Amino acid sequence: MVWSTSGLAAINVDRTRIIMDSKQKSLSVVLTNENKRTPYLAQSWVEDDKGKRTDLLLALPPLQRIDPGKKSQVRILQAPGGGTKSLPQDRESLFWFNVREIPPEVSSDENVLQLAMQSQLKLFYRPASVRKADGDTPETRLVVTRDDGHAVLKNPTPYYITVAWLGPDRKYLLRGFNEPSMVAPFSSLILKAELPVSLRSLSVGYIDDYGGLRINTYRCDTTHCVL
């Protein structure tokens, strides 16, 4: 049985998202076996934005044992041959880094339900042409408009933007906004969230490169909301 809830997993990753600069040949991710009594195997791999295994970015080792309470590393590297050069160079590309824990086998006479937990992290490949400068916050260029009473997120930037908060203030969410929404570069996304015409202030929260939530207050008129 596979259950994709990292908070319940024995094998945990040291971050919630991964940014890979095109000039990085590889980067390391730390895995920790939070179980203090049982060793686990950790299986790691990378998928493209459609959920298919890719050979552009590799996760090594693909399978390893992590002893109770111990840490280990997985290297994510660009595959030899320059395959990542085929990716768009004017925007980020989305991948998924996966870690599946494999518990030790139990004897056949034990009545135990084992869960193979799996963690999945967004992995953004960032070309040199769109590298961010220190303090740069392109996410604040996101615009929110209305379409038949619903909120529309318009992303004019070359970066993926994940909006995790959308509400009239920092206490209440818009009706229909139930989970974070990710907008691809240079694209728009229509949400189920209702955006009342009478609203004059909108709190918009995005996830930054380090996994933190940043909330800004947008000004709204009858057609759109901007920072």
Domains and CATH numbers, the chain: 2-128 (2.60.40.10), 138-226 (2.60.40.10)
- pTM of the prediction? 0.90
Q: Give the residue from 22, 44, 10 showing the smallest Cα distance to 121.
A: 44
pLDDT at 107: 62
Per-10-residue mean pLDDT, the chain, length 227:
55 96 96 95 97 97 98 96 92 98 76 77 97 91 95 98 97 97 98 96 97 97 93
Predicted pLDDT at 110? 62
Alpha-carbon separation of residue 51 from 98, 152, 169 (angstroms): 10, 25, 35
Give the Cα-Cα-Cα angle 34, 38, 43 (nearest 5 degrees): 70
Burial class, 92, CB count within 10 angstroms (exposed 0-12 / middle 13-18 / buried 19+): buried
The pLDDT of residue 108: 62
Residue 1 confidence (pLDDT): 37
The candidate with the shortest Cα–Cα distance to 169, out of 194, 205, 134, 144, is: 205
Amino acid 211: pLDDT: 95
pLDDT at 18: 98
How far is 78 from 94, CA to CA, in rounded Å? 14
| 219 vs 221: CA distance, rounded Å | 7
Q: Which two tokens stand for residue 64?
A: 């390893």
